[in-house]
């Protein structure tokens, strides 16, 4: 047993080094690398991921997993290692069924497609992206047929990003939201929009970067265990134990956008940074529960960040860095960050209409994987759904179907997790209030880190030990429901 476990741990460590090299290259490609190096970087990414894949499917690895899974061995493993063996065994069985040549092609095509998406979006030309998207969709279907030949493709995809979640449950939650939100959005948008011209102007990018650091520090991001950079689309990435990085994108005329991206990505990073040390080098550290992950980023972004009291202790400091804000009273700033208005771009959407953007993507994914709608018809379908759900129609595909990067790298099934995250947040907010008292008061007092600490204790420290459903039931003692989120919206905006 001792020997098998030792060999297993060493094996994992070696594989992790390939993964780390691959992540480092991906990070570099998206933040710093010059355009002309892309093709050779993609090749290197392909190399490292193939090596990692080989290790995950090697016969000797399967034998180690088999050995450690024997009841007399398995029961001696600590919690973190037991989870690791279970998950690795599941992956091993799945990957065994995927031909290596297909896998390498899939990984490189993802990188190529991501790159084509960038170009197509920039030139607003869907025809550049269409063949890649089409290939990614068919390869995703093929991939799922290999790993789970007896299951529905879309159910497997949903489960990949939010273990234990299925389309039946999501249908129920999203339908309740859709029905509750439609009249609320109509009611809010029938009122006159506030005058926000005080915020007009150009905001220095370097200053916006400084504001990002202030906000990250304020909510509890640990700069000894992470860093920041700029990219086309904000994201968070864990490079290795003790190194969680966030990116942001900047627009001189939209400082609020970079502030909220900073808070959002900061929420993801705080989760990753605070997994209990005892789970180091186990699967518990790898948090692939995207609904739970989004619940953390969106809790900071919306439940806390869009609350006026969040800004009371920090607004003057932000205005020191962005002097234009000295002429903008906090109340006007509050109106600006809480405008509810149907719009085209998901990442710029307010917290209420955002839900509709996700429901649209969920319905699109069902159209792709259940109804098999041809790729060339997707832009039109997108626009039709925009009109139905939000009453606005994109004039171009760049602000329509091509706005997000997710599908370009094959992340189908990911989008629903954003909204599931918000659904969990509605429940978490009620629970925080019950246990810690008024969130308004805590924020106004500048005690936001008490909330971060609560999240560390209740959620972050366990990493991916429990599924999202288990976490919510353990923390909130209730079953998942959309009602708390709907009542949060109604209370705030009605
Ligand atoms: Zn996120």
| Residue 265 alpha carbon to ligand 1 centre in Å | 6
| Residue 72 alpha carbon to ligand 1 centre in Å | 41
> Tens digit of pLDDT for each residue in 172-220?
999 999 999 999 999 998 988 899 999 999 999 999 999 999 999 999 9
| Residue 69 alpha carbon to ligand 1 centre in Å | 35
- Confidence at residue 111, expressed as pLDDT on a 0 to 100 scale: 87
| Residue 142 alpha carbon to ligand 1 centre in Å | 27
| Residue 268 alpha carbon to ligand 1 centre in Å | 7
Give me the mean pLDDT over the 305-321 stretch. Answer: 98
Cα-flanking dihedrals φ and ψ of residue 239, to 5°?
-80, -45
| Residue 409 alpha carbon to ligand 1 centre in Å | 16
Do residues 94 and 390 make contact, with C-beta atoms less than 8 angstroms apart?
no
Distance of CA 123 to the CA centre of its chain: 26
> Tens digit of pLDDT for each residue in 398-424?
999 999 999 999 999 999 999 999 999
- Confidence at residue 406, expressed as pLDDT on a 0 to 100 scale: 94
| Residue 316 alpha carbon to ligand 1 centre in Å | 27
> Tens digit of pLDDT for each residue in 421-441?
999 999 999 999 999 999 999
**71: pLDDT strictly greater than 70:** yes
DSSP line for 84-145? HHHHHHHHHHHHHTS-HHHHHHHHHHHHHHHHHHHHHHHHT-HHHHHHHHHHHHHHHHHHHH
Do residues 121 and 166 make contact, with C-beta atoms less than 8 angstroms apart?
no
| Residue 234 alpha carbon to ligand 1 centre in Å | 9
| Residue 378 alpha carbon to ligand 1 centre in Å | 24
> Tens digit of pLDDT for each residue in 210-265?
999 999 999 999 999 999 999 988 999 999 889 999 999 999 999 999 999 999 99
Q: Which residues pair with 246 in a beta bridge?
A: 228, 236
Tell me which residues are annotated as active site. Answer: 265
> Tens digit of pLDDT for each residue in 363-379?
999 999 999 999 999 99
Per the rule left: phi > 0, alpha: psi between -120 and 50, beta: everything else, 101 is alpha
3-state secondary structure of 245: strand
Cα–Cα distance for residue pair 360/178, rounded to 1 Å: 10
Do residues 196 and 335 make contact, with C-beta atoms less than 8 angstroms apart?
yes
What separation in angstroms does the CA of 338 have from each of 131, 256, 308, 325, 419? Answer: 39, 11, 10, 17, 18
Q: Mean pLDDT over all residues of the chain?
A: 95
| Residue 469 alpha carbon to ligand 1 centre in Å | 18
| Residue 26 alpha carbon to ligand 1 centre in Å | 18
**1: pLDDT strictly greater than 80:** no
Q: Directed axis angle between helix 468-476 and helix 290-298, to 10°? A: 50
**348: pLDDT strictly greater than 90:** no
> Tens digit of pLDDT for each residue in 105-139?
998 899 899 999 999 999 999 999 999 999 999 99
* pTM reported for the whole predicted model: 0.93
Give me the mean pLDDT over the 470-488 stretch. Answer: 96
| Residue 418 alpha carbon to ligand 1 centre in Å | 7
């Amino acid at each position: 047993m001792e020997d098998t476990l030792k060999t297993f741990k060493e094996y994992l460590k070696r594989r992790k080094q390939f993964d780390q090299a691959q992540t480092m290259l991906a990070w570099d490609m998206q933040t710093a690398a010059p355009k002309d190096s892309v093709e050779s970087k993609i090749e290197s990414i392909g190399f490292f991921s193939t090596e990692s894949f080989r290790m995950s499917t090697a016969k000797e690895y399967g034998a180690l997993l088999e050995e450690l899974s024997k009841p007399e061995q398995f029961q001696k493993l600590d919690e973190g290692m037991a989870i690791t063996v279970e998950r690795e065994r599941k992956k091993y069985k799945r990957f065994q069924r995927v031909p290596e040549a297909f896998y390498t092609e899939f990984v490189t095509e993802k990188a190529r497609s991501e790159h084509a998406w960038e170009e197509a979006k920039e030139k607003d030309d869907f025809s550049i992206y269409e063949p890649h998207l089409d290939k990614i969709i068919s390869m995703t279907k093929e991939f799922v047929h290999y790993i789970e030949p007896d299951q529905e493709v879309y159910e497997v995809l949903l489960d990949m990003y939010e273990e234990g979640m299925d389309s039946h449950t999501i249908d129920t939650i999203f339908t309740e939201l859709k029905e509750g939100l439609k009249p609320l959005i109509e009611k809010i948008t029938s009122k006159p929009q506030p005058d926000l011209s005080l915020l007009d102007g150009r905001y220095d990018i370097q200053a916006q970067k400084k504001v990002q650091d202030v906000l990250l520090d304020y909510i509890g991001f640990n700069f000894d265990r992470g860093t920041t950079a700029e990219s086309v689309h904000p994201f968070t990435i864990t490079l290795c134990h003790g190194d969680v990085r966030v990116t942001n994108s900047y627009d001189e005329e939209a400082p609020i956008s970079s502030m909220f991206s900073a808070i959002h990505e900061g929420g993801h990073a705080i989760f990753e940074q605070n997994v209990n040390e005892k789970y180091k080098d186990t699967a518990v550290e790898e948090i692939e529960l995207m609904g739970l992950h989004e619940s953390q980023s969106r809790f900071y972004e919306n439940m806390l960040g869009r609350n006026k009291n969040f800004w009371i202790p920090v607004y003057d400091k932000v205005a020191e860095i962005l002097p234009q804000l000295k002429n903008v009273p906090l109340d006007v700033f509050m109106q600006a960050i809480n405008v509810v208005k149907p719009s085209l771009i998901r990442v710029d959407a307010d917290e209420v209409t955002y839900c509709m953007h996700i429901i649209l993507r969920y319905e699109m994914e069902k159209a792709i994987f259940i109804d098999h709608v041809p790729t060339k018809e997707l832009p039109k379908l997108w626009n039709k759904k925009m009109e139905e759900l939000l009453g606005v129609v994109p004039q171009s595909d760049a602000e329509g179907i091509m706005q997000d990067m997710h599908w370009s790298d094959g992340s189908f099934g990911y989008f629903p997790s954003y909204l599931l995250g918000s659904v969990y947040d509605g429940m978490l907010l009620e629970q925080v209030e019950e246990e810690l008292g008024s969130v308004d008061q805590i924020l106004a007092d500048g005690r936001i880190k008490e909330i971060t600490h609560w999240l560390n204790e209740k959620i972050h420290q366990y990493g991916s030990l429990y599924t999202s459903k288990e976490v919510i039931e353990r923390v909130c003692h209730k079953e998942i429901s959309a009602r708390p989120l709907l009542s949060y919206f109604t209370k705030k905006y009605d």
